[in-house]
Amino acid sequence: MTSRSRSLYDEITARIADGTYAAGAAMPSTRALATERGLSRTTVSLVYEQLAADGFIETRVGAASRVAAGAAPGARKARGAQRVRAGRHEGRLSAIGTRIAALTLRDAAPLKPKEIDFIYGPLSNRDFPVSAWLKAQRQALRQRAARLAYEDPRGNLELRRALQAHLSRSRGLSCAIEQLLIVNGSQQALDLCARLLVDPGDTVAVENPGYRMAHHVFETQGAKLVGVDVDAQGLRTDSLAALPRTQLLYVTPTHQFPLGSFLPIARRRELLAWASERGAWVIEDDYDGEYRYSVRPEATLAALDGSGCVIHVGTFSKTLSPQLRLGYMVVPARLAEAFATAKRLNDRHAATDAQRTLALLLEDGSYERHVRRIRRVQHARQRALVAALARHFGDRVEVQGDAAGLHLVAWFPAIAAKREQELVEAASRSGVRVYPVGSFFIDPPARLKRAAGLVMGYALLEPAQIDEGVARLAAAWKRL
C-alpha cells in the first residue's frame, strides 16, 4: 500500500474499532469517499479490497459495502499492532480552559424501564404546541427572504418587536428594541454576562443554595464566588451590606432556585438600592416566571431599575422546549452595543427559522394561549405531587416552593442532611430518581446544618406516575 492508502485503511479500521462504523453499517461508496478525500477511486477501491480480504467489511456487486459482523475486535488488534508511540505535546490550555476542564459535569444516565424521574428541567413532549408551531413554521418558510444572509446578532427584528410587546404585557417590563438580545438559551446569556462584566479575581455574589450551572460560568471566568443566604422570602438582602466589593450579583427573584421562594417588593427595592450604591451589576434570571399558582405577579427588577444596573434574562425552554435553545436578554442601554458585538463574535446569531416561527406565535396570540394552557397543566401536576407527598408521608415531610414554577423541595425532618445521598440511592433501587438539595450549596458545612431535602420536578410526569413515584420514595424512606 502507498502511504495515502495505508492512512485511509488505518482510519477506517480505527472507526470500526471505536464503533463509529458499527457492524452491518453501510460504508461510503468508493466514488463518494474518493471525491471527499481527494483520492483516486482506484486507491479507495484497493483499500476496500484489502479491508474485505482482512475480514473487516463485506462487499457485494451492486450493493453498498458493509461492516462485517465481529469486525471490531480484529480492528482493535490491527490498530494496536500499527500504533506509533506519539511524542508529548507541550501546548497548554488557557487559564479559563484549565478551570473548565476541572469541572465534573455529567449528563443524566438513560432511564431504566418503568423508572420514574422527578428531574427538573426537561418538559414532556406531549405538552409542545405541535400544530401551532408547524403552522407558524410553514408560514415563516414561505416568507423567507430571497437572500440567505447573516442576521442582526441581536436577533430577528420581528421576534424582538413581538417580544418587546409580550414583556410589556406579561411582565410590565418596558424596553427599547435595541436593548433586546435573542440568545441560545439563558445559559448563553450568563456566559455573555460573565465574559463582558467579570474579570479574574472579581467578587460575584450568588444565592446559597443556588443554580450551580450559573455559578460554574462565573467560576470558570476566574470570579470569586460569595454565597448569600436564602430564607422563606428569597435572597436575604439584609446580608448584602456585609459583602466585600462586589462586581455582580446573580439572583432568581421570581422563583428562587432551588428553594422556590418569592422575593417581595421591599427586598427588591433594597437589592436595587444596594447595587446602585455599590456600582454592582445584577443579573435577574426569570427562568420560569410564567408559572405562578398562588402568588401574584410582582414588578421585575428590570422594571424597577432606575440606575441601569439590571440585566434581565428569560427563556422559552420552560414553556416550549429546551431543545429550541431560544432565550433573551434585556440589557441596560449603555451595554447594548457591547453585548451585540460579543454575540456576533460568539456565534453570529440564533437560528433564524426558529426565531421567525416564534415571532409569529407571539404576534397572533398562539404563544400566550399555549402558556395559559400549559400553566393549568403544570399546576395540576404540582397539586398531584403535593397531594401524593401528603398521602404517603403525612407530617413526616415539609413542602417548600410550591407556589410557582416547575419543581418544589421536599424536606424530611427525620433524616439528617448527611444521609441525603443514602435516601437518593435507596430511591434509585426502588425505581425512582430524585435529586438532593445539598448539591446546590456552595458552602459544604452549610449543607449539613439542616434536614435531608430533595428537589422534585414534575413537568415530565402525569398524576398517576407522580403518585406511584412518591409511593416508591416512601418505601425507600421507610427502609432508612
Mean per-residue pLDDT, 427-440? 95
What CATH number does the domain located at 3-82 have? 1.10.10.10
The answer to which of 75-79, 389-393, 401-405 has the lowest mean pLDDT is: 75-79
Which residue matches cell numbers 430564607?
231
Which residue matches cell numbers 426537561?
122
The predicted structure's pLDDT at residue 139: 96
pLDDT at position 477 over 60:
yes
pLDDT at position 11 over 50:
yes
Given CA atoms 271, 256, 365, 137 in this order, what sign does their dihedral have?
positive
The predicted structure's pLDDT at residue 84: 47
Element (H, E) at 446: helix 444-447
In this prediction, residue 448 has a pLDDT band, given cuts at 50, 70 and 90, of low
pLDDT at position 1 over 80:
no
Mean per-residue pLDDT, 329-348? 96
Element (H, E) at 276: helix 265-278
The mean pLDDT value of the chain amounts to: 92
The predicted structure's pLDDT at residue 5: 86
In this prediction, residue 443 has a pLDDT band, given cuts at 50, 70 and 90, of confident
The predicted structure's pLDDT at residue 71: 79
Is 102-126+370-479 in the same CATH topology as 3-82?
no
Contacts for 463 with CB less than 8 Å, ≥ 6 apart: 380, 381, 384
The predicted structure's pLDDT at residue 60: 82
Which of the 8 DSSP states describes residue 94? Answer: -
Measure the CA–CA gap between 51 and 5, rounded to whole angstroms: 11
Query: The pTM is what?
Result: 0.87
Mean per-residue pLDDT, 328-340? 97
| Residue 327: φ, ψ to 5° | -140, -175
Rg (Cα) of the chain, in Å, rounded? 27
Measure the CA–CA gap between 29 and 20, rounded to whole angstroms: 16
Mean per-residue pLDDT, 327-334? 97
Residue spans of the domains in the chain: they are 3-82, 102-126+370-479, 129-364
pLDDT at position 344 over 80:
yes
pLDDT at position 81 over 70:
no
In this prediction, residue 59 has a pLDDT band, given cuts at 50, 70 and 90, of confident
The predicted structure's pLDDT at residue 458: 97
Smallest CA-to-CA distance from 285 within 200, 425, 149, 191 is with: 191
pLDDT at position 364 over 50:
yes
Measure the CA–CA gap between 208 and 220, rounded to whole angstroms: 18
Measure the CA–CA gap between 282 and 243, rounded to whole angstroms: 14
Q: In terms of pLDDT, which residue wins out, 73 or 178?
A: 178
Smallest CA-to-CA distance from 374 within 132, 194, 53, 167 is with: 132
pLDDT at position 441 over 90:
yes
Looking at the domain 129-364, which fold is it?
Aspartate Aminotransferase; domain 2 (3.40.640)
Which CATH architecture fits 102-126+370-479?
Answer: Alpha-Beta Complex (3.90)
3-state DSSP assignment of residue 437: helix
Q: What is the pLDDT of residues 292-312, one digit of tens each?
A: 888 777 899 999 999 999 999
pLDDT at position 86 over 70:
no
The predicted structure's pLDDT at residue 83: 53
CA distances from 67 to 44, 125, 219, 297 (A): 16, 35, 46, 60
| Residue 189: φ, ψ to 5° | -60, -45
CB 3 within 8 A of CB 62: no
Q: What is the pLDDT of residues 243-297, one digit of tens each?
A: 999 999 999 999 999 999 999 999 999 999 999 999 999 999 999 989 988 877 7
pLDDT at position 94 over 50:
yes
Q: What is the pLDDT of residues 116-133, one digit of tens each?
A: 999 999 999 999 999 999
Smallest CA-to-CA distance from 225 within 201, 257, 242 is with: 201
Q: What is the pLDDT of residues 201-237, one digit of tens each?
A: 999 999 999 999 999 999 999 999 999 999 999 999 9
